[in-house]
Amino acid sequence: MQRRDFLKNSAVAGVGAAGLTILNFPVFGKNAPSNKIVLGVMGVNSRGNWLAQVAAKLPGAEIGYICDVEDGAIDKGLKAVASSQEKKPQVIKDIRKLVEVKDVDAIIIASPDHWHAPAAIMAAAAGKHVYVEKPCSHNAAEGELLVKTARKYNRHVQMGNQRRSWVNMQNAVKEVKEDNIIGRVFYGRGWYVNNRAPIGVGKKIAVPGTLDWNLWQGPAPRMDYLDNIVHYNWHWRWHWGTSETCNNATHELDCMRWFMDVDFPTKVTSAGGRYAYSGDDWQTPDTQTLNFEFTGNKSISWEGRSCSAFNLEGSGRGFTLFGENGSLYCGGGDSYKIFDVKGKLVKEVKQADAAANQNVVNTVSPAGEQSDAIHIQNFLDTIRGNAKLNSEIAEGHKSTMLCHLGNIAQRSNSILQCDPKNGHILNNKEAAAKYWGRTYEKGWEPKG
pLDDT value of position 195: 97
Q: Are 346 and 338 in contact (CB under 8 A)?
A: yes
Strand partners, 303: 191, 289
Rounded to 5°, angle at Cα 291 from 135 and 307: 65
Given pLDDT bands bounded at 50, 70 and 90, which one contains residue 108? very high
Spell 169-190 as b/e; 16+ CB within 10 A means b.
beebbebbeeeebbeebebbbb
Q: How far apart are the first and last CA of the chain?
A: 29
**Whose CA is closest to 69, among 44, 87, 48?**
44
Asked if domains 3-163 and 167-201+214-357+393-435 share a fold, the reply is no
| CA-based radius of gyration for the chain | 21
Mean pLDDT for 93-107 is 98
Mean pLDDT for 284-289 is 98
Phi, psi of 4 (to 5 degrees): -60, -40
CA dihedral 211, 214, 218, 224 (to 10 degrees): 100
Given pLDDT bands bounded at 50, 70 and 90, which one contains residue 84? confident
416-417/267-273 β-pairing: antiparallel
Query: Residues 167-189: pLDDT tens digits?
Result: 999 999 999 999 999 999 999 99
DSSP 247: I
Q: At what angle do helices 393-412 and 250-260 cross, to 10 degrees?
A: 120
Q: Are 240 and 158 in contact (CB under 8 A)?
A: no
The residue type found at 425 is I
| Dist. CA 395–CA 263, nearest whole Å | 8
Q: Please tell me the CATH code under which domain 3-163 is placed.
A: 3.40.50.720
Phi, psi of 262 (to 5 degrees): -125, 155
Q: Class assignment of domain 167-201+214-357+393-435?
A: alpha beta
pLDDT value of position 35: 75
Q: Domain limits of the chain?
A: 3-163, 167-201+214-357+393-435
Query: Residues 327-337: pLDDT tens digits?
Result: 999 999 999 99
Q: What is the 3-state secondary structure (H, E, C) of 105-157?
A: CEEEECCCHHHHHHHHHHHHHCCCEEEECCCCCCCHHHHHHHHHHHHHCCCCE
Query: Residues 209-259: pLDDT tens digits?
Result: 999 999 999 999 999 999 999 999 999 999 999 999 999 999 999 999 999
Helix (H), strand (E) counts: the chain = 13, 15
Q: What is the CB-side half-sphere exposure of residue 115 using CA atoms within 13 A?
A: 22
pLDDT value of position 10: 46
The residue type found at 169 is M
Average pLDDT for the chain: 91
- What lies within 8 Å, CB to CB, of 47 at 6+ separation is 110, 133, 363, 364
Asked if the model's pLDDT at residue 12 lies above 90, the reply is no
- What lies within 8 Å, CB to CB, of 429 at 6+ separation is none
Mean pLDDT for 358-387 is 80
| Dist. CA 246–CA 228, nearest whole Å | 20
Beta strands in 226-379 (DSSP E): 267-273, 287-294, 298-305, 317-323, 326-330, 336-340, 345-349
